[in-house]
Amino acid sequence: MLAAPYHLRGDADAAAYVYGRYGNPTWTHLERALGELEEAEAVTFASGMAALTAVVLPLLGRGDVLVACGDGYPGVREIARERLEPLGIEVRLVPTDTEAVAAAAPGARLLWLETPSNPRLDVVDIAAAAEAAHAAGALLAVDNTVATGLGQRPLDLGADLSMLSGTKSLSGHSDLLLGAVLVRDAVLAEGLRRWRGQTGAVPGPFEAWLAHRSLATLGLRAERQSDTGLALARRLRERGDVSDLRHPGLEDDPSHAVARRQMALWGPLLGFALPSAERAQAFLAACALVSEATSFGGVHATAERRGRWGTDDVPEGFIRFSAGCEDTADLVADVEQALDRVA
């Protein structure tokens, strides 16, 4: 619903829609639907970064400790470096691995995980991280962007906050920016809503409507992307002309055992490397069905040479590949013809 102020006569009613920065009926519908994915309260935001900062900025103050992982969306490390550390918050950056996260927990206020992490697709055991966080008196937040609540339910595994960028797989059409945080604790939910109202990090009503409409196909999209991503990873493993192949669904992937326990769907992503930046760029240019773009989770396959940003610890020729909803055999054939052309 497009409205800035609502009709509001006389004394304000706390339950009514008052002003567009505090509430909107379209958000309400979207938040109810998102909440059902994890049996939680959902609070939506203008973008994934607006959701992420709504968790880390109000929760942490001078002297607090944040534990975050080396792999994952660089935005969290950038906020840590440029916004948190100058405020006197200690940031412990650890390898994206369950033992390292647990070992860093004592003394922390918040543990921040992205699992599967992107671009390297490491998987952290959410239940073990939650146990370590709670033993230390800390909260655990999980960035669930890659899997979405359909593929993985961090709150069921003990996380306190499940955050995601709705820009990616959740809305899935590469046509909007959105973020959400899901919680089961009413105090946390109220804090997130107050932060959103105070900072104005609100989702646009049209974006909320588009996202709500897109949820009807989330299951179809997520299953196809997950199946195609795995089929492609299996084919690449057989070919043997790429290195650093990662996919949580591959039986010999270091992430597989934990991923199998905690994920219902693998998500759309796989990662692999070609021997050089030039060869990786030539491969991307040779794909007919794959657009070179920096997002993922859309209905159309996208890929990028992740090393082009300099923000991730990956080889120069490392490609983050996001399977779309194309016919699986068509997409696998396209990737194979592109690899053959650049061989």
Ligand X SMILES: Cc1ncc(COP(=O)(O)O)c(C=O)c1O
User: Which are the catalytic amino acids?
Assistant: 21, 73, 143, 168
Contact flag: residue 53 with ligand X (CB under 6 A): no
Q: CB of 46: closest distance to ligand X in angstroms?
A: 8
Rg (CA), the chain: 20
75 vs 204, beta carbon nearer ligand X: 75
Contact 169, 222 (CB under 8 A): yes
Q: CB of 73: closest distance to ligand X in angstroms?
A: 4
Q: CB of 159: closest distance to ligand X in angstroms?
A: 15
Q: Three-class SS of residue 59?
A: helix
Residues 131-150 that bind ligand X (CB under 6 A): 143, 145
CA neighbor of 245 nearest in space, from 162, 325, 181, 335? 335
Q: Which of 31, 71, 97, 114 forms a contact with ligand X (CB under 6 A)?
A: 114
172 vs 179, beta carbon nearer ligand X: 179
**CA quadruple 215, 221, 223, 225: dihedral sign:** negative
Number of residues that bind ligand X (CB under 6 A): 14
Contact 20, 5 (CB under 8 A): yes
> Cα 234 to the chain's mean position, in Å?
24
Contact flag: residue 71 with ligand X (CB under 6 A): no
Contact flag: residue 262 with ligand X (CB under 6 A): no
157 vs 332, beta carbon nearer ligand X: 157
Contact flag: residue 49 with ligand X (CB under 6 A): yes
221 vs 332, beta carbon nearer ligand X: 221
Q: Which of 48, 119, 267, 268 forms a contact with ligand X (CB under 6 A)?
A: 48
Is the previous residue joined to 119 through a cis bond, with omega within 30 degrees of 0? Answer: yes
Of all residues in this chain, which one has the CB nearest to ligand X in the complex? 48
Q: Which of 98, 165, 214, 255 forms a contact with ligand X (CB under 6 A)?
A: 165
Q: Which of 47, 225, 255, 281 forms a contact with ligand X (CB under 6 A)?
A: 47
Which tokens is 177 given? 């920016």
Can you spell out the DSSP letters for 286-325? H-SS-EE-S---SSS-EEEEGGGGS-S-S-TTEEEEE--S
Q: Are strands 161-165 and 139-143 parallel, antiparallel or unpaired?
A: parallel
